[in-house]
Structures are given as C-alpha cells and as structure tokens.
Amino acid sequence: MIMPAVTRVKLANPKLLTWAREELGLTAAEVAQRFTKPAEIIEAWERGDKAPTFRQLTELATYYKRPVAVFFLPSVPPKASKPRDFRTLPYTPPGEYSKETLLSYREVCAMLAEARELLDELDSDIALSLPTWTLDDPPEQKAEELRALLGISIERQIKEFDTHYTAQDVWRSVLFDRGVIVRICKMPITDARAFCLFGSNLGGIGLSNEDREHGRIFSLFHEVCHLSLEQPGVSGLASNYQSSHQRLEQYCDRFSASFLLPSSHPEVMGSLELFDGSIDLLDVAQFIADKFKVSKYVAIRRAFDLGYVSPDVYWEAITEWKTTDARRARRAKTTGGNYPATQISYVGKRFIGLVMEALRRDYFTAVEVRRLVGLDPATIELNM
C-alpha cells in the first residue's frame, strides 16, 4: 500500500513562527515538549531549514491562539508591548508573565476593539468616563465620590445584593455604563490576580477565574483605581513584600476597601467595630462579608486601615486564611459544570447584550456571535 506524500508548508517568512512563540513568552523547548518533538525541530522550523506539515502548522496556530493566516504574512508584526508589572510578589520575575496571562491580556485588548465597533454601530454614546486623580488624593474621599457617581448606596448593597454573584453582575453593569468592560479570564491567580488597560476609548479589566467571586469584586475596584490613576498594568495577590510599587498597590487596595465599606456609613462602622472586641476575627470578617457582599479579606483590610486590627494580626490572619482557602479549593475542585452559564459570566452580560442586539439588527451573523462569545445565539437566549 502506497502512503500519500506528506505535504509540508514552506513559509516565505518562518520568523513569524518565532514571533508567535515569543509573544507568549515561550521557549522553543516548551513548545517542543507540548508537541512531543525535539527542540531542534521547532528551531529548524523557525529558521526555515525544515517545514511543518499543514496539520502541524494548524496545531501551532491553535496553541499560539493565532489564525493560521498570520503565518503567511509578508513581514513580522511589531512586538506587542507587555503590560506594566505592579505585582508585589517576591518569587515573580518583574515583567515575566505566564502564557495564560499574556493570552488573557490579548483577549481583553481584542474585546475592547470589538466593543467599540459594536457601540459605534449601535449608535451608543458609551465611552470611558471615570474620574481621574493622583496618589496625593485621599483614597477614601475618591472612593466616596466614585460610589456616588455610580449610584449604588450601601442600603442597596445590603438589601438588593442577595449573593456575591448578583453583586458582581451589578458592579460590572454600572461600570460598563462608564466605559469599563470587565472579563473573567483563564489565568493562574498565582501569576496575576487582575489587570487593566486602555483601548478604543474604553477601559478594560481582566479578573482571574481562579479567584472567588467576592475576591474578584475587590480586585475589580482595585483595577478601577488603577484606571483612574491612569496607571494600567498587572496586579497580584496581596503581599507585605516590599517593592517599588508598594505605595501604588497599597493605595489601590485602600481605595477598593474604602469603596466597598465606606467609613462614612454608620452601619459599616458599627460592623467594623466588632473587630475591636473579643469575637473571633474570622467570625467577624465572615459576618461582614455576608452582610455587605464583600470578601472576608476586604472586611479585615478595612479594619486594618481604620486601626481596629494591628499590622501583625492582619498579615497573620490573611496568611492563615489564604492557606486554608487554598486547601479547600483543591478539595472542592471539580470538572464539568454549566459551560454556557460560565461562558456568559466570563464574557459579561452587557457585552453579550451588545452582540445579540447587533444580531437582531442583522449587523452580525450567528457565526460572528459564536466567534465573539463562544456560544450559539440560541444557547445564549436560554441561559441569559
């Protein structure tokens, strides 16, 4: 039996393979391991000494999250600038991100461009309209001003936010009206908890899918603060590790905690004063978290900011809680779930609403809806 000849694709510019790999911060050895081939083969493809088959080229495109057509461009596109690194993590090399984080950043960049096109097509006047300030402005004052601008009172936060998921949806929606589009991204929380960026006269925020929903709410307003300070970049988990970005990250943490639990409200202060008693810290933090739909970390952070908890007690508590939570998360980790509902949550209901409105007006086809959202229109209708 004669086997058909294997068709190899001789690229006019094999350096495009190197560009696609390096854009994700991958080495040739890492790609080789993924495809179970010697690193020398990957390097030979990139030099043009050897050529991949079309199937191998397609698999590379899928792995690099690029269309196959990109490898047939006449020249290598300019390298994308990496986001600024504001992480205060002792074990993370500055400016070095995981493949998942870089893909997530690219995903949100693309989402802003798509959203701008949709908004213009639908004659919407939504654009980035957050107030701006500097590190010299009091974070508590700016938090109060932004809350008033967004129109969500503490009373509404207590009465109407029945779950953390409801709270997350409401906060994302009111920020969308201010031109801030939020996406939950598949990126390791140990690498990046969240990031933000500007693009297409909009602001974009990416939140780690590994964070709990109440943790994402804190990260969300931490990143909103970065946008208002006009200092977009990548943030990590809370840490007392000293770095050049310590002041900025502490400011954004304080802003977020102040926004979610404003000290000017008597019900907030009455709850926070419980930290000054003999009740267990975790019990108090969990009570406040459930009442205001924040995380226990926000509760104790606010108590720390206001002097109810000492720095040593604060860092000891959150270190212990994070260890316990990580252990529970590993035990509770499951596969499967409701994929459509998860995808809608990741992309965001307001962005999906834009896409569906474009479909209703015949600006989009069902194929384009699937490309942007990852779901068929009928599936979206059933799950929204």
pLDDT tens, residue by residue, 137-146:
999 999 999 9
pLDDT tens readout for residues 1-10:
555 566 788 8
User: Does the structure show a pLDDT above 60 at 31?
Assistant: yes
Check residue 5 and give its pLDDT. Answer: 60
User: Does the structure show a pLDDT above 70 at 38?
Assistant: yes
User: Domain 15-72 class?
Assistant: mainly alpha
User: Does the structure show a pLDDT above 80 at 14?
Assistant: yes
Check residue 282 and give its pLDDT. Answer: 92
The DSSP line for 27-46 is: -HHHHHHHTTS-HHHHHHHH
CB distance 74 to 31 below 8 Å: no
User: Does the structure show a pLDDT above 60 at 332?
Assistant: no
Provide the 3-class DSSP secondary structure of residue 234. Answer: strand
Backbone angles phi, psi at 311, to 5 degrees: -55, -45
269-286: average pLDDT: 88
Check residue 336 and give its pLDDT. Answer: 54
DSSP one-letter code for 85 = B
State pTM to two decimals: 0.85
Nearest Cα to 301, choosing from 245, 239, 247?
Answer: 239
Check residue 244 and give its pLDDT. Answer: 64
Lowest pLDDT segment from 28-37, 58-67, 217-226, 317-326: 317-326
96-113: average pLDDT: 91
**Residue 207 pairs with which residues in a beta bridge?**
184, 194
pLDDT tens readout for residues 47-69:
999 989 988 998 988 888 888 88
Cα torsion angle, 68, 71, 72, 78, sign: positive
Check residue 134 and give its pLDDT. Answer: 97
Backbone angles phi, psi at 203, to 5 degrees: -110, 145
Q: Which residues contact 47 (CB under 8 A, 6 or more apart)?
A: 14
User: Does the structure show a pLDDT above 60 at 354?
Assistant: yes
Assign 89 a pLDDT band (cuts: 50, 70, 90).
low
Check residue 190 and give its pLDDT. Answer: 86
Assign 371 a pLDDT band (cuts: 50, 70, 90).
confident
Assign 123 a pLDDT band (cuts: 50, 70, 90).
very high
Check residue 321 and give its pLDDT. Answer: 87
User: Does the structure show a pLDDT above 90 at 252?
Assistant: yes
Check residue 238 and give its pLDDT. Answer: 63
User: Does the structure show a pLDDT above 80 at 46?
Assistant: yes
User: Does the structure show a pLDDT above 90 at 338?
Assistant: no
Check residue 355 and give its pLDDT. Answer: 92
User: Does the structure show a pLDDT above 80 at 364?
Assistant: yes
* d(C-alpha 156, C-alpha 149), whole Å: 15
What are the angstrom distances between the C-alpha of 384 and each of 264, 336, 341? 36, 19, 8
Assign 81 a pLDDT band (cuts: 50, 70, 90).
confident
108-129: average pLDDT: 94
Assign 368 a pLDDT band (cuts: 50, 70, 90).
confident
The mean pLDDT of the chain is: 88
Lowest pLDDT segment from 62-76, 189-203, 241-255, 292-306: 241-255
Check residue 279 and give its pLDDT. Answer: 78
Assign 95 a pLDDT band (cuts: 50, 70, 90).
confident
Helix (H) or strand (E) segment spanning residue 181: strand 180-185
Check residue 381 and give its pLDDT. Answer: 86
Check residue 330 and give its pLDDT. Answer: 64
| Percent of the chain predicted with pLDDT > 90 | 53
User: Does the structure show a pLDDT above 80 at 281?
Assistant: yes
Check residue 80 and give its pLDDT. Answer: 77
Domain segments of the chain as ranges:
15-72, 99-329, 339-383
